[in-house]
Amino acid sequence: MADWKAGLEDVIAARSGICAVDGAAGRLFYRGYEIGELAGHASYEEVTWLLWHGELPTAEEGRAFAAALEATRGLPAPVLELLERLPRDCHPLDALRTAVSLAASVDPDVRSNDREANLRKACRVMTLIPATVAAWQRIRTGREPVPARRAGSHAAWFLAMLNGRDPSPEVARVMDLVLTLHADHEFNASTFALRVAVATLADLHAAVVAAIATLKGPKHGGANEDVLAMLRDIGDPARAAGYVGERLGARAGMSRAERGDPRARMPGFGHRVYKVDDARARVLRGMAKSMAEATGRGRLFEVAERVYDAMKAGTDLPVNVDFFSAVVYDALDIPPDFCTSIFAVGRVAGWCAHALEQYADNRLIRPRADYTGPAPRRMLTSMASSPTS
């Protein structure tokens, strides 16, 4: 068998025109636009249109797209009933995965993979995910889900569903930015899982379920949950450097497998592609500072800053998107086990873009394994159990 790369590192798995990552320079582009230029200048809805269609929308297209999304707001009744029956300690991402799976059964286009049907389904999944995330957070904390309403930006609507009141324009702007920064990231693990599912010609909902399942892991989206839990655990900026030293120092006597365990790593640091801090992390760091100060959570930001300094002093690992986003989530009053759900609310735009691209020019994704098991051998007849026993 030819060369293989553990974890498919640097392997080109398909051609894509959606998102480019420059790992050496820490730069990220959606359809050619640099993320720092898009974030704050185009709304999350406009960025979603860009990812799906290749160009920013005209004013007319933007209005029509916002209206199309607004028209799909509201949870299907069976999904709401499902959420009400789930055990209250069900992890938010498990609740979301299960809800998207059920939503397929009530989607009128579930049996069609035509582009128009997929665009309609993509709009519905775009609002299903935030509506489910918000409803589940309220239900599991003993509150009534907020009835759907039509008006308002995607970010403001999501926050209103979550908190039961309209957000201030500033908080809505922060959420819009967070969603935009998370909207896509080339062939990250959840997007790749989605493309593998799409390539079998499974339906969009099935592929999004695969993506959500993959996002959950602590080496991918689940890391933001671990970051917030860790920062709260450290608690005091003066303890941060010691904590980092202990956690990294414990790795010295470990085997490679043990060093791979998330408990032996610093969540929010390291990346398969980036060799330096990426642009999203830089924007999120600034947002984390101003949000933490505005909401009286400056101490957690200080802990994060001291952890960041200690990591820079002790390693050459870049900070990743999950580190400072966790501080922003804390300022938005989002608990640790809910952080990855916010990631999903943003990333669904990219998942849908990649699904549309894969359906449009599809070939089954089916790699090979470099077989390392026993050489071909014969079974001894005395080893076989009797078929009648």
Give 209 or 307: the residue with its C-beta nearer to ligand COA.
307
Q: What is the DSSP string of 209-272?
A: HHHHHHHTSTTTTTHHHHHHHHHHHH-SGGGHHHHHHHHHHTTTT--HHHHHSGGGS-TTB--S
Within 13 Å of residue 221, how many CA atoms lie on the same side as its CB? 28
- Least distance (Å) between residue 7 CB and ligand COA: 5
Would you state the structure tokens that stand for residue 124, as one six-digit string?
A: 């519905």
Which residues have CB under 8 Å from 55's CB, separation 6+?
31
Using DSSP, state whether 277 is helix, strand or coil: coil
The amino acid present at 333, given as its one-letter code, is D
Give 325 or 358: the residue with its C-beta nearer to ligand COA.
325
Would you state the structure tokens that stand for residue 347, as one six-digit string?
A: 């990333």
How many CB atoms within 10 Å of residue 1? 8
* Cα 332 from Cα 108, distance rounded (Å): 36
- Please state the separation of Cα 214 from the chain's center in Å: 9
Backbone angles phi, psi at 162, to 5 degrees: -75, -45
What is the widest separation between alpha-carbon atoms in the chain? 77
- Least distance (Å) between residue 279 CB and ligand COA: 14
- Least distance (Å) between residue 205 CB and ligand COA: 25
CA distances from 365 to 192, 193, 202, 209, 352 (A): 10, 10, 12, 18, 18
* Cα 62 from Cα 74, distance rounded (Å): 21
CA distances from 316 to 114, 146, 258, 275, 311 (A): 46, 45, 20, 8, 8
Give 131 or 194: the residue with its C-beta nearer to ligand COA.
194
Q: Nearest-CB residue to ligand COA?
A: 270
Give 206 or 311: the residue with its C-beta nearer to ligand COA.
311
Beta-strand (E) ranges in 263-350? none
Would you state the structure tokens that stand for residue 268, as one six-digit string?
A: 């929010």
Would you state the structure tokens that stand for residue 41, as one six-digit string?
A: 């200048």
Give 6 or 383: the residue with its C-beta nearer to ligand COA.
6
- Least distance (Å) between residue 185 CB and ligand COA: 8
* Cα 260 from Cα 262, distance rounded (Å): 6
- Least distance (Å) between residue 307 CB and ligand COA: 11
Give 100 or 223: the residue with its C-beta nearer to ligand COA.
223
- Least distance (Å) between residue 77 CB and ligand COA: 36
Q: What is the DSSP string of 69-84?
A: HHHT-S--HHHHHHHH
- Least distance (Å) between residue 36 CB and ligand COA: 18
**Catalytic residue set:** 271, 322
User: H or E segment at 135?
Assistant: helix 115-140
Give 192 or 269: the residue with its C-beta nearer to ligand COA.
269
| Residues making contact with ligand COA (CB under 6 A) | 7, 219-220, 223, 256, 259-260, 265-272, 317, 320-322
Give 149 or 259: the residue with its C-beta nearer to ligand COA.
259
* Cα 314 from Cα 241, distance rounded (Å): 10
Which residue matches tokens 């947002």? 287
- Least distance (Å) between residue 223 CB and ligand COA: 3
